[in-house]
Amino acid sequence: MTGKSPPGSQNQFTFVQLAILLLLGCSASGCSIFTPYKSAMTEYEDAKSNLEGPANVYRPEGVSAESDYFAEGFLDRIGIRSKQRRDVSAARDHYKKADNLFAQAKELEGDERRKKFRHAADEFQLAAENWQSSGLEQDALWMAAESLFFAEDYYQAEGLYAELVKEYPKNPYLDRVDSRRFTIADYWLNYDNVKPTSFMAVNFSDYKRPWNDTRGHAKRILETVRIENPTGKVGDDATMRLAMESFENQDYEAAADTFADLRMTYPDSRHLFNAQLLELKSLIASYQGSNYSSVPITDALKRIEQIRKQFPQEAKQHQDDIQQAYAEARYSMAERIWEQSKYRRDRSEYGAARFHYERIIKEYGDTPFADQAREQLARIKDKPAVPPQRFKTLVWLMGGSTDDRPYKNDK
Span 10-57, pLDDT tens digits: 444 465 565 555 555 555 444 444 444 445 445 445 544 444 444 443
> Within the chain, what is the greatest distance between any pair of CA atoms?
136
Q: What is the pTM of this model?
A: 0.74
User: Which residues fall within 8 angstroms of residue 150, CB to CB, at 6 or more apart?
Assistant: 105, 106, 113, 117
What are the distances in angstroms from CA 274 to CA 142, 232, 309? 34, 20, 15
Q: What is the predicted pLDDT for the residue at 32? A: 43
Q: What is the predicted pLDDT for the residue at 400? A: 64
Span 331-386, pLDDT tens digits: 999 999 999 999 999 998 999 999 999 999 999 999 999 999 999 999 998 888 88
Q: What is the predicted pLDDT for the residue at 201? A: 82
Q: What is the predicted pLDDT for the residue at 206? A: 85
Q: What is the predicted pLDDT for the residue at 76? A: 53
3-class DSSP state of 357 = helix
d(CA 186, CA 209): 12
Low-confidence residues in the chain, pLDDT < 50: 1-13, 28-38, 40-41, 43-44, 47-60, 81-82, 411
Kindly report the three-state secondary structure assignment for every residue of 126-142. HHHHHECCCHHHHHHHH
